[in-house]
Homo-oligomer: A and B are copies of this chain.
Amino acid sequence: MEVEIKFKAYDGVEDRIKEIAEFVIEKLEEDLYFNHPCRDFKKTDEALRVRKDKEGIKITYKGAKVDRETKSREEIKLKIDDFDKAIELFERLGFKPVRKVVKFRKIYRMGDAIICYDEVEGLGSFVEVEVESDVKDFDAAKQKVFEIAKQLGFDIKNSIRKSYLELLEENAS
């Protein structure tokens, strides 16, 4: 389970992140999202993507969001050896490529929490705070994520539950 909250970045937020968290890595992430051959991921609130970055290539499935305040959801990640072959595989299985999402992500660590500062092509800058958790620790993980968001000066009420994919799709329509 990925317990996650997201906000639009404000000027200077990166300095606040650096005060409380330790820089880990920065990388360009290129994601290609797919829709399912026989169900509409927009309606089921699921997602399937193939990601390429300098650390490697990954397939990620995201289940429906489980919570009203955050964008927490089940995630299954699979490391793979080839981006183009993964796309070919899903296309042969009837999955439809929906959209590319490209961002430059700076990752910071604070204990077992991750803070990402994302510059998303076509959308602007965002901050994501996330903690991985078992289902039984969900509430504690959520409180931790809220606490860090507050330390960074965010109001939980302004959290954005939509994914970058959804935000880009909205802008396009």
Question: Which A positions have Cβ atoms within 8 angstroms of B?
Answer: 36-39, 46, 48, 59, 61, 63, 74, 76-82, 85-86, 88-89, 92-94
A60 closest partner in B (C-beta): B89
Query: What is the predominant secondary structure among interface residues of chain A facing chain B?
Result: mixed
Tell me the bound Cα distance from A46 to B91 in angstroms. Answer: 13
Q: Is A39 a contact partner of B94 (Cβ separation < 8 A)?
A: yes
Q: Is A63 a contact partner of B92 (Cβ separation < 8 A)?
A: yes
Tell me the bound Cα distance from A77 to B86 in angstroms. Answer: 9
Min CB gap A118→B, angstroms: 24
Return chain B residues, CB-CB under 8 Å to A88: 76
Q: Is A61 a contact partner of B36 (Cβ separation < 8 A)?
A: no
Give 17 pairs: A residue, B residue, CB < 8 Å, sorted on A.
Answer: A36-B94, A37-B37, A37-B38, A37-B39, A38-B94, A59-B89, A61-B89, A61-B93, A63-B92, A74-B92, A76-B92, A77-B85, A78-B81, A78-B82, A79-B81, A79-B82, A80-B81
